């Protein structure tokens, strides 16, 4: 006899997408607000937020969570839109960092919000798919 459990895994509950949305929005806010707050950060004892490693850590975390979340959900809902949205988000961030420096303050936060949208779409598709089974 197989015993059913009520425990939800990180993926089944959508928590990974929720965490991805939160991390992506935090990254976007960080990138958008940093140019305005950079002079105040030392006064608040938070000058470490201006270091490039913080931004690259946030991008790396978003990439890891996004790839894992979307790759494990895709076989369930078979929708490519979240994956394309995630790729677009990282392309915007990459273009802001390495291409159009004059638009960096716009492209990088827009990329973060686009990544959050990819997680939201993935979460909705996975949730709708779960209701049909």
- Residues 107, 33, 59, 86, CA torsion sign: negative
Burial 88-114 (b: 16+ CB within 10 A, else e): bbbebbebbbeeeeeebeebbbbbbbb
Instruction: Give the pLDDT of residue 38.
Output: 58
Q: What is the mean pLDDT of residues 37-42?
A: 59
Tens digit of pLDDT for each residue in 66-78? 888 888 888 888 8
Instruction: Give the pLDDT of residue 8.
Output: 53
Burial of 76: CB neighbours in 10 Å, binned 0-12, 13-18, 19+: middle
Instruction: Give the pLDDT of residue 3.
Output: 45
> pTM above the 0.75 mark?
no
Distance CA 114, CA 119 (A): 9
Instruction: Give the pLDDT of residue 87.
Output: 94
Q: CB-based contacts of 17: which residues, under 8 Å, 6+ apart?
A: 69, 73, 119, 120, 122, 123, 126
- How crowded is the C-beta side of 29, counted as CA atoms within 13 Å? 7
Q: What is the mean pLDDT of residues 82-104?
A: 89
Instruction: Give the pLDDT of residue 89.
Output: 93
Residue 112 has pLDDT above 60, yes or no: yes
Instruction: Give the pLDDT of residue 77.
Output: 84
Instruction: Give the pLDDT of residue 25.
Output: 74
Instruction: Give the pLDDT of residue 30.
Output: 66
| pLDDT-wise least confident of 38-47, 63-72, 88-97, 105-114 | 38-47
Q: Which helix (H) or strand (E) holds 37?
A: helix 15-37
């Amino acid at each position: 006899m197989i015993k059913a459990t009520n425990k939800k895994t990180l993926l089944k509950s959508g928590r990974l997408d929720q965490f991805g949305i939160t991390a992506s929005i935090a990254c976007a806010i960080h990138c958008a607000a940093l140019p305005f707050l950079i002079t105040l950060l030392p006064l608040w004892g938070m000058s470490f937020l201006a270091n490039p490693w913080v931004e690259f850590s946030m991008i790396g975390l978003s990439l890891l969570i996004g790839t894992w979340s979307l790759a494990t959900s895709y076989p369930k809902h078979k929708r490519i839109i979240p994956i394309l949205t995630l790729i677009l988000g990282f392309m915007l961030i990459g273009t802001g960092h390495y291409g159009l420096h004059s638009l960096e303050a716009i492209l990088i936060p827009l990329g973060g919000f686009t990544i959050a949208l990819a997680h939201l779409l993935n979460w909705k598709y996975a949730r709708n798919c779960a209701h049909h089974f």
